[in-house]
Amino acid sequence: MKSEMKWPHAPSHSLALRGTYFLTAGTYQKAHFFNTRERLDVLQRGLLSVASEFKWHLEAWAIFPNHYHFVAHSPKLESNALSLTVMLGKLHGKTANWLNKRDNISGRTIWHNYRETRLTIEGSYLARLNYVHQNAVKHGLVEVGNQYPWCSAGWFERTASPAQVNTIYGLKTDTLNVADDFTVAGVF
């Protein structure tokens, strides 16, 4: 019987259990492929559309020229989270095809990989919600998260109770272990 080989440069995806996941996906070589308002709009619409189609409940998202993050709950009627791989395959395939057609380039690699973490501790889950909502601030794009049009902070503030907003925004994110070494400041 063959043993399963782990590739050293690709994260393993542990999707055997349903639950709440934090995800980061990045472009190939961290290139700024989504570096215009139109391109960010397309990626955001695509993410919201595939999440709805695959019945993933998004709670927070932030989209940038070379990566995105989200926190989402897997579909309630599924016993695992394996649909995440199919969902991201569809999103990445459609956006890569759109970009390559738009730029008149054939076969260019747009997406590199993604990393997901199943969130099982409430404090970690809530801190990651804050992290995603405030990620544009971290990257120096805006002073307040709700000013960035390609994230859920504004929507969250309009739809959550003031107590929920204060609780989430009051959580520290500086000790979270998040692979977010992407440079986006000054892109626009």
pLDDT, one tens digit for every residue, the chain (188 residues): 444 444 444 444 456 577 899 999 999 999 999 999 999 999 999 999 999 999 999 999 999 999 999 999 999 988 888 899 999 999 999 999 999 999 999 999 999 988 998 999 898 899 999 999 999 998 889 999 999 999 999 999 999 999 999 999 998 887 777 777 677 766 55
Structural tokens at position 12: 């393993």
Per domain, the residue ranges of the chain are 20-169
CB neighbourhood size of 181 (10 A): 8
**Domain 20-169 has what CATH class?**
alpha beta
Buried b (16+ CB within 10 A) or exposed e, 88-101: beebbeebbeebbe
pTM equals: 0.88
DSSP output for 127-148: HHHHHHHTHHHHTTS-SSGGG-
